[in-house]
Chains A and B, each alone.
Chain A
């Protein structure tokens, strides 16, 4: 690999990370705006999340007295793992950096690494709510894992590989795959799992103030200032990444198959449009949905698991 090529790869990766970061914050604002309009309010401006993060960076940093190095490390690792996952995901082009090792399995586990460390940080302050948030988050993670991995199996079975760009390319080459029963079941299961992993309704309400209803929020009650800014940034990037993965697995048209400038611009535009539509649809349904009771969530996850399993079986049976 020549120096110029390496520089190009690094540059493209940095652009992809920044796009995911900024795009994630804008996406949060956009979804909030859609909800507000549907509820009959004006709502905050779409770019408010960016301003919030900037404001948080400028606030004072606070550390609880019994916290250890885990407390400041968790937001950093959260952002870092999501950034690495974003670099290896074929969001804009089918040739992201590290495409040789770009594997759906790796992306899933990178996201898991970030959320595991955040769960640990929730327990670091020695508060009751932190422990509660971690305990519930870990339970949901444990139940979402089977559905997620079987979904990856369902998606990989038809292409004989879990290499992410390969799956996207296979779908581009063979559009009929979209309508195969395996794909449809896997997509439905993936949607439920993505809602669970990013902590949106009906699994978790990101804007609740009642601690006993919190799952993810409870883990970050102790964070202030720059740490909180990093956590918000990490969560926004995660949401954008998960939705980007979803749209590129389901409807990959528009993804650049070459590295020409025009192709990349078209890819970026297509990605933004698709994520906006999906985010808007999610926000739309959130208005009409209430949060599920905590112990109804296993049933939801089991439903996702069964659908994913049906996807695998139909992928093997229906040729």
Chain B
């Protein structure tokens, strides 16, 4: 699993935190820039269901409300082992 500099080179997007008003556009653009087949992974309670920021004046929603999410990793913060296992579940190794 490698970090790459551009979503065009990526196979998956790792999103953390809730989606705020200013970040809706960039998030959609990032997803659109990623070539198929692609995976969206929401890490943390805030990404999965807004967590403690639910209802905030700048928050639009969870990641799943704006773009489709393939893998959710709940937790505040998620356990490192949970993250690793979820990622391993994607790659199958």
Residues 219-256 of A contacting B (Cβ, < 8 Å): 221-225, 228
The B-contacting residues of A in range 184-238, CB under 8 angstroms, are 208-211, 214, 217, 221-225, 228
Specify the chain B residue showing the minimal Cβ separation from A61.
B35
| Contact between chains at B5 and A60 (CB < 8 Å) | no
Contacts of B5 in A (CB 8 A): 208-211, 214, 217, 221
Q: Is B52's CB within 8 Å of the partner chain A? A: no
Q: Which residue of A lies closest to B35 (CB)?
A: A60
Quick check: A222 and B35 within 8 Å, CB to CB?
no
A59 within 8 A of partner (CB): yes
Query: Which one of A44, A60, A210, A228 contacts B9 once the chains associate, using CB atoms below 8 Å?
Result: A228
Asked whether, in the complex, the Cβ of B3 is within 8 Å of the Cβ of A224, the reply is no
Return B9 CB to nearest CB of chain A, in Å: 6
Cβ contact within 8 Å between B3 and A62? no
Within 8 A of A (CB), among B13-37: 33, 35-37
Query: Could you give, for residues 28-60 of chain B, a 1 whenever the CB lies within 8 Å of some chain A CB and a 0 otherwise?
Result: 000001011100000000000000000000000
Measured between alpha carbons, how far is A208 from B8 in the docked complex, in Å? 15
Q: How far is the CA of A223 from the CA of B33 in the complex (A)?
A: 10
When distances are taken between beta carbons in the complex, the residues of chain B under 8 Å from A208 are 5
Q: Which residues of A contact B4 (CB under 8 A)?
A: 209
B81 at the interface (CB under 8 A from A): no
A-side contacts of B9, CB under 8 Å: 221, 223-224, 228
A222 touches B3 (CB 8 A): no
Docked CA distance A224–B32 (Å): 12
Q: How far is the CB of A213 from chain B (nearest CB, A)?
A: 10
Contact A223 B8 (CB under 8 A): yes
A185 to B13 Cα, complex, angstroms: 49
Q: Are A222 and B36 closer than 8 Å at their CB atoms? A: no
Q: In the assembled complex, how far is the CB of residue A122 from the closest CB belonging to chain B, in whole angstroms?
A: 13
0/1 string, A42-61, CB within 8 A of B gives 1: 00100000000001000111
> A219 → chain B, closest Cβ, in Å?
11
- B-to-A contact residues, CB < 8 Å: 2-6, 8-9, 11, 33, 35-37
Interface residues of A (CB under 8 A from B): 44, 55, 59-62, 208-211, 214, 217, 221-225, 228
Task: Beyond the given A44-B2, A62-B35, A214-B5, please list 16 additional residue pairs across the A-B interface where CB-CB is below 8 A.
Answer: A59-B11, A59-B35, A60-B35, A60-B36, A60-B37, A62-B33, A208-B5, A209-B3, A210-B5, A217-B5, A221-B5, A221-B9, A222-B6, A222-B8, A223-B9, A224-B9
18 CB < 8 A contacts A-B? A55-B11, A59-B35, A59-B37, A60-B35, A60-B36, A60-B37, A62-B8, A62-B35, A208-B5, A211-B5, A221-B6, A222-B6, A223-B8, A224-B8, A224-B35, A225-B35, A228-B8, A228-B9
The 9 nearest A-B residue pairs measured at CB: A60-B35, A224-B8, A60-B36, A221-B6, A224-B35, A209-B5, A59-B35, A225-B35, A62-B35
